[in-house]
Amino acid sequence: MGRTFSETKLVIASHNQGKLREIRDLIGPLGIEVVSAGELGLPEPEETGSTYIANAELKARASAEGSGLPALADDSGLSVTALDGDPGIYSARWAGPEKDFSLAMQKVEDGLQEKAAAGNTDRSAAFVCALTICWPDGHTESVEGRIHGDLVWPPRGANGFGYDPMFVPAGQDMTFGESDAGWKHSISHRAVAFEKLLKRVGLDQAANGAGDNAG
C-alpha cells in the first residue's frame, strides 16, 4: 500500500466535464469534498508526457501546487490494435481544438478502413485510464486500469463521452454510448483504475462501508 489518504477535500485536476461527472460519481460515496481545477480557476497544463501515467502525474502535480490541496488527475485514451495503439495518449488531440469527438471517431474508422483494405480486419481496442493522486508536498501515487473490447461503426448511443459510442466492451452487446452511467461505472477502465487507487491509498474500506450503507 502507498501513502494513506486521510484528507477531507480533493481537487479533481480536469476541465473535461465528462470525466468530472464520472469521477464525482465514483468519489461521492467516500464522503470526500471535491472541487474541480476549473472551479478554482487553475489552468490546464500542457500534456507533454509520453505515457498515460506521466500525463496524469503532470496534471495532478499542477493542481496540487496551484491549490495547496491534494489533487486527483486522470489521463485516459483509446488504444486501437490495428492502428499500433493510436490514438493512445493523443486521443483528445484527435478531436481537435473544438473537442469534436465525432471527428475523432471518424479518424479512427478511416484508419481501420485503410487497414481493412490492406487485409487487416482487426477491430479490437482497449480503453486505458491512469489515475494519480498528488499531495501538496509532491508525493504521488499512480495506478492504471484498462478494459478490452471492439469498435463498431456507425457509433451507437448518446450517453457517455469521447469514443464511448463506438466501443463495445468484451463480452457485451452495448456500446458505452448506449449504456447507463451505473453500468459503465461498474466495468469501465476508469472504474478498474479507481478500485486500484482506493486500495493503494487505503480508501477501499471506506468505499466498502459506503456501499454497505447505500441500501
What is the count of structural domains for the chain? 1
Mean pLDDT by 10 residues, the chain (215 residues): 92 89 87 93 93 97 97 96 98 95 98 98 98 98 98 96 96 95 89 94 70 36
Residue 71 has a pLDDT of 98
Rounded to whole angstroms, how far apart are CA atoms 90 and 188? 19
pLDDT for position 206? 61
Whether 171 is in a domain gets the answer yes
* Active site positions, annotated: 75
Its domain, for residue 48, covers 9-212
Which CATH number is 35's domain given? 3.90.950.10
**Is 201 part of any domain?**
yes
Q: What is the pTM of this model?
A: 0.89
Q: Residue 58's pLDDT is what? A: 97
Instruction: Supply the pLDDT for residue 208.
Output: 56
For residue 20, give the nearest of 7, 46, 39, 41 by alpha carbon.
Answer: 39
pLDDT given for residue 141 in this prediction: 98
Residue 2 maps to a domain: no
Residue 18's pLDDT is what?
82
Whether residue 1 is contained in a domain is answered as: no
Asked if residue 3 belongs to a domain, the reply is no
Q: What is the pLDDT of residue 16?
A: 84
Structural domain includes residue 191:
yes
Indicate whether 75 belongs to any domain. yes
Q: Is residue 150 part of a domain?
A: yes
pLDDT recorded at residue 214: 35
Beta strands in the chain (DSSP E): 9-12, 33-36, 71-80, 124-134, 140-151, 167-169
The DSSP output letter for 172 is -
